[in-house]
Amino acid sequence: MPRPIKITRLAVTHYAWEIHDLGREERLGFDAVYRPGARSPAGGSILTIETDAGVKGEVPGAVDARAAQYLLGRNPLERDVIWHDLKRSQRGSINAPPGAVDIALWDFAGKLYGAPIHELLGGWRMKLPCYASTYHGDENGGLTRPEDYAEFALYCRQELGYPAFKIHGWIGGPIDREVAAVLAIRKAVGDGMALMLDPAGAFNTFDDVLRVGRACDEARYFWYEDAFRGGGFSLYAHAKLREFVKTPLLMGEHIRGLEAKADTITARATDYVRANAGIDGGITGVMKIAALAEAHGLDVELHGPGLAHRHCMAALRNSNWFELGLVHPKITNNRAPIYPDKRWLDLLDSVDDHGCVDVPAGPGLGVDLDWDFINRHKTGVTVYE
Ligand SMILES: [Mg+2]
């Protein structure tokens, strides 16, 4: 039986911030792309879970009122019970417990025990190789031509040490330009860099998907991700694509729930298994998905950056790359500085000379939040008690 500790109060602190030279892509208006002079809101929130042990969990993210009411009075050490209860509460929507809650409970536990989360997970590697993961292509002189991607990949390799590079290409074509970019990048960087392509569901036809996939084959890409306009949900479509394209597939970043992830594997729809602590049930959820992948001889690839992913990946044998993104040659400073040291902010230059990020050594998530910055940009606090 865990020691008797109770959650006494939850707070969500909201803050505002802006990214410069980032706007909306012109054709559909959803995706963020380079746009000189534009500004994009990039605020966020911090979830604080307080306990009667005098130790708190504190992480980027939020909680809704229903989950907060459930958590008040519960024992924060009973993570697995909480995980399953909150998962059930989300069965009609994301089918996973709110990631921030689980991560905050791990942060609390680490601080209670005086140990970093990676140590509680049995982690051993403290340097994580990264891929520079680009913003989508734009028409504004940033990532506009195939050679822009090629030059940026070469810069990431030669100047920053990145061992890998992932393109998010253009929204809405033309497909010839996408094919040219796939080939131009390989030509520029040679064989010493792993390359990935993520159209993020931007292609229109099966023929588009095939043409780009065949270019990935020719240029020996590491994976081909979420190519179908359907958004990466169809197991059938991906299993069929495998009949035509040799490059390993990665799909499932929009598929929620451990059971549905299992189906992506058994349907042979994916070669790498996607997991995201923020939306797949926190650190507990990521480690479950990683074990699921392990049981099938597959690797798990974490979607997006963040401290929680650094701790998980430190403890995962079957994971290849840390996704550092999104990045762009002309957009710098695209993360709210909620940590004082840029090493933890997942910026383009947060990597060491070998293109790796570090795993924090402090208790819990291991890096103190910069509350001076957060309080200066605070727009409100929601409290549950
Ligand atoms: Mg993706």
Q: Give yes or no for a contact between 258 and 88, defined as CB atoms under 8 angstroms apart.
A: no
- CATH topology identical between 7-115+370-384 and 120-358: no
- Is 7-115+370-384 a CATH 3.30.390.10 domain? yes
Six-digit token string for 240: 């069929």
How much is the pLDDT for 349?
97
How much is the pLDDT for 2?
86
275 Cα to the center of ligand 1, angstroms = 11
Which residues of the chain are modeled with pLDDT < 50? none
Give the C-alpha distances (Å, rounded to integers) separating 202 from 140, 188, 199, 209, 317: 19, 25, 5, 10, 32
Tens digits of per-residue pLDDT, 203-239? Answer: 999 999 999 999 999 999 999 999 999 878 999 999 9
102 Cα to the center of ligand 1, angstroms = 23
Residue boundaries of the structural domains of the chain:
7-115+370-384, 120-358
- In whole angstroms, what is the distance from residue 301 CA to residue 130 CA? 11
Six-digit token string for 372: 């001076």
Looking at residue 119, its amino acid is E
For helices 146-158 and 175-189, the axis angle rounded to 10 degrees is: 30
Q: Give yes or no for a contact between 100 and 282, defined as CB atoms under 8 angstroms apart.
A: yes
1 Cα to the center of ligand 1, angstroms = 41
113 Cα to the center of ligand 1, angstroms = 35
**Among the listed residues 152, 131, 133, 132, the one whose alpha carbon sits nearest the alpha carbon of residue 142:** 152
229 Cα to the center of ligand 1, angstroms = 13
83 Cα to the center of ligand 1, angstroms = 25
364 Cα to the center of ligand 1, angstroms = 28
- In whole angstroms, what is the distance from residue 245 CA to residue 209 CA? 10
How much is the pLDDT for 262?
98
Tens digits of per-residue pLDDT, 107-126? Answer: 999 999 999 999 999 999 99
CATH fourth-level superfamily of 120-358: Enolase-like C-terminal domain (3.20.20.120)
How much is the pLDDT for 133?
98
Six-digit token string for 283: 């650190």
CB-count burial class (<10 Å; 0-12, 13-18, 19+) for 180? middle
161 Cα to the center of ligand 1, angstroms = 23
How much is the pLDDT for 29?
84
How much is the pLDDT for 148?
98
The SS3 assignment for 312 reads: helix
Show Cβ contacts of residue 259 under 8 Å, excluding neighbours closer than 6 positions: 95
How much is the pLDDT for 92?
87
Six-digit token string for 166: 């992932």
How much is the pLDDT for 228?
95
8-state DSSP, 335: S
- In whole angstroms, what is the distance from residue 209 CA to residue 203 CA? 6
How much is the pLDDT for 230?
81
Six-digit token string for 335: 């993360």
